[in-house]
Structure 1
Amino acid sequence: MMAAARLSAERPRVLVVCPGPWDKENIGSRFRERYELLFHGERLVEQPSLVAGLRFNVARWIDQSVAMYRDAGLNGILGTGDYPGCMFASLIGEQLGLPVPPPGAVVQLSHKYYSRQIQQRAVPEATPHFEPINPFSGPPRLRKLSYPFFLKPVKGTMSIRAQMVHGPDDFRRAVRFSWRERIEKSLLLRPFQQLLRRYTDGQIPAHWFIGEAPLAGTQVTVDGFVERGAPVVMGIVDSVMYPGTISFQRFEYPSHLPEGVQTRMRDIALRLMKASGFDHACFNIEMFHDTERDTVSVIEVNPRMSYQFADLYERVDGMNTYEAQIALATGQPVPWRARSGRDGAAASFVMRRFTDAQVLRVPSKEEIAAVKERFPGTIIKVLCTPGEKLSQQDQDVGSFRYGIINMGAPTRAELFSRYQQVEELLPFEFS
Structure 2
Amino acid sequence: MSHRNIFVVGLNAFNRERLESLRGARHYRFHGVIEPEAVYDTEVFPIEDMLDRAEAELRDFTGSIDAIVGYMDFPVSTMLPLLCNRFATRTTSLESLLKCEHKYWSRLTQREVIGNYIPRFTAFDPFDDDALSRIGEAGLYFPFFVKPIKSSGSRLGFRIDSPEDFSAAVTRLREDIGLISEPFNFVLDQAQLPDSVRAVDGGHCMAEEIIGGWQCTVEGYVFQGQVVPYGIVDSIRYPQVLSFFYYRYPSRLPGRIQDKMRELSATVMAHIGYDNAAFNIEYFWDEVQNRIWLLEINTRISQSHCDLFEKVDGVSHQQVTVDLALGQPPDMPSRQGAFAVAGKFFYRVFFVDATVSRVPSAQEIEALEQEFPGTLIALQVSVGMRLSSLPEQDSYSFALAYIWMGADNDDALEYNYARLAERLIFEFEDIVG
- Using structure 1 for the length normalisation, give the TM-score: 0.90
The alpha carbon displacement at 1:102 in A equals 1.2
Give me the whole-angstrom Cα distance separating, in 2, the residues matched to 1:44 and 1:299. Answer: 28
Could you say if the C-alpha distance between residues 396 and 74 of structure 1 is closer, same or farther in structure 2, counting changes exceeding 3 Å? same
Amino acid at match of 1:112: K
For 1:86, the equivalent position in structure 2 comes to: 77
Question: Structure 1 residue 73 and structure 2 residue 70: aligned?
Answer: no
Verify the 8 A CA contact 1:222 1:266 in the aligned structure 2.
Answer: yes
Question: Structure 1 residue 108 and structure 2 residue 99: aligned?
Answer: yes
Question: Structure 1 residue 12 and structure 2 residue 7: aligned?
Answer: no
Amino acid at match of 1:362: V
Give me the whole-angstrom Cα distance separating, in 2, the residues matched to 1:114 and 1:377. Answer: 41
For 1:393, the equivalent position in structure 2 comes to: 390
Amino acid at match of 2:163: P
The alpha carbon displacement at 1:388 in A equals 1.9
Give me the whole-angstrom Cα distance separating, in 2, the residues matched to 1:418 and 1:17. Answer: 35
> Residue 378 of structure 2 is aligned with which of 359, 378, 381?
381
> Residue 343 of structure 1 is aligned with which of 334, 339, 342?
339
The alpha carbon displacement at 1:83 in A equals 1.1
For 1:264, the equivalent position in structure 2 comes to: 260
> Residue 32 of structure 2 is aligned with which of 39, 53, 56?
39
- SS for the counterpart of 1:279 is coil
Verify the 8 A CA contact 1:220 1:286 in the aligned structure 2.
Answer: yes
> Residue 320 of structure 1 is aligned with which of 316, 336, 341?
316
- SS for the counterpart of 1:189 is helix
Amino acid at match of 1:44: A
39-48 or 365-374, which deviates more: 39-48
- SS for the counterpart of 1:231 is strand
Could you say if the C-alpha distance between residues 20 and 82 of structure 1 is closer, same or farther in structure 2, counting changes exceeding 3 Å? farther
Could you say if the C-alpha distance between residues 80 and 272 of structure 1 is closer, same or farther in structure 2, counting changes exceeding 3 Å? same
Could you say if the C-alpha distance between residues 137 and 25 of structure 1 is closer, same or farther in structure 2, counting changes exceeding 3 Å? farther
Give me the whole-angstrom Cα distance separating, in 2, the residues matched to 1:275 and 1:102. Answer: 14
**Deviation sequence 1:152-172 (CA, Å, 0-9, x none):** 111112212212212333211
Amino acid at match of 2:428: F
Question: Structure 1 residue 121 and structure 2 residue 112: aligned?
Answer: yes
Verify the 8 A CA contact 1:318 1:341 in the aligned structure 2.
Answer: yes
Question: Structure 1 residue 144 and structure 2 residue 139: aligned?
Answer: yes
**Deviation sequence 1:79-138 (CA, Å, 0-9, x none):** 111111122222222232222111222233111111111211232121111110111112
**Deviation sequence 1:286-336 (CA, Å, 0-9, x none):** 111111211111111100110110111121122310122111111122123
For 1:226, the equivalent position in structure 2 comes to: 222
Give me the whole-angstrom Cα distance separating, in 2, the residues matched to 1:130 and 1:273. Answer: 20
For 1:369, the equivalent position in structure 2 comes to: 366
Could you say if the C-alpha distance between residues 306 and 162 of structure 1 is closer, same or farther in structure 2, counting changes exceeding 3 Å? same
394-403 or 37-46, which deviates more: 37-46
Q: Give runs of aligned pairs for residues 158-307 of structure 1, distance below 5 A.
A: 158-177=153-172, 181-182=175-176, 185-199=177-191, 200-201=193-194, 202-307=198-303
For 1:430, the equivalent position in structure 2 comes to: 428
- Using structure 2 for the length normalisation, give the TM-score: 0.89
The alpha carbon displacement at 1:280 in A equals 2.0
The alpha carbon displacement at 1:220 in A equals 0.8
Verify the 8 A CA contact 1:342 1:410 in the aligned structure 2.
Answer: no
Give me the whole-angstrom Cα distance separating, in 1, the residues matched to 2:304 and 2:184. Answer: 23
**Deviation sequence 1:259-297 (CA, Å, 0-9, x none):** 111111111111111112222222111111111211111
CA RMSD of aligned residues (A): 2.4
The alpha carbon displacement at 1:187 in A equals 4.8
Verify the 8 A CA contact 1:14 1:75 in the aligned structure 2.
Answer: yes
In the comparison of the two structures, how many residue pairs are matched?
417
**Deviation sequence 1:209-230 (CA, Å, 0-9, x none):** 1011110211111111111211
The alpha carbon displacement at 1:147 in A equals 2.5
Verify the 8 A CA contact 1:19 1:80 in the aligned structure 2.
Answer: no
For 1:3, the equivalent position in structure 2 comes to: none
Give me the whole-angstrom Cα distance separating, in 1, the residues matched to 2:43 and 2:403. Answer: 29
Unaligned stretches of 5+ in structure 2?
none
- SS for the counterpart of 2:201 is coil
296-305 or 335-344, which deviates more: 335-344
> Residue 99 of structure 1 is aligned with which of 86, 90, 97?
90
Verify the 8 A CA contact 2:319 2:332 in the aligned structure 1.
Answer: no
Verify the 8 A CA contact 2:245 2:346 in the aligned structure 1.
Answer: yes
Could you say if the C-alpha distance between residues 241 and 225 of structure 1 is closer, same or farther in structure 2, counting changes exceeding 3 Å? same
Question: Structure 1 residue 359 and structure 2 residue 356: aligned?
Answer: yes
The alpha carbon displacement at 1:25 in A equals 4.8
Give me the whole-angstrom Cα distance separating, in 2, the residues matched to 1:430 and 1:393. Answer: 15
The alpha carbon displacement at 1:146 in A equals 2.3
**Deviation sequence 1:171-220 (CA, Å, 0-9, x none):** 111110497x35xx425432210111232242111121101111021111
Unaligned stretches of 5+ in structure 1?
1-8
Could you say if the C-alpha distance between residues 22 and 309 of structure 1 is closer, same or farther in structure 2, counting changes exceeding 3 Å? farther
Could you say if the C-alpha distance between residues 84 and 194 of structure 1 is closer, same or farther in structure 2, counting changes exceeding 3 Å? same
Amino acid at match of 2:183: P
Give me the whole-angstrom Cα distance separating, in 1, the residues matched to 2:238 and 2:44. Answer: 35
Verify the 8 A CA contact 2:11 2:31 in the aligned structure 1.
Answer: no
- SS for the counterpart of 1:352 is strand
Verify the 8 A CA contact 1:66 1:92 in the aligned structure 2.
Answer: no
The alpha carbon displacement at 1:64 in A equals 4.0
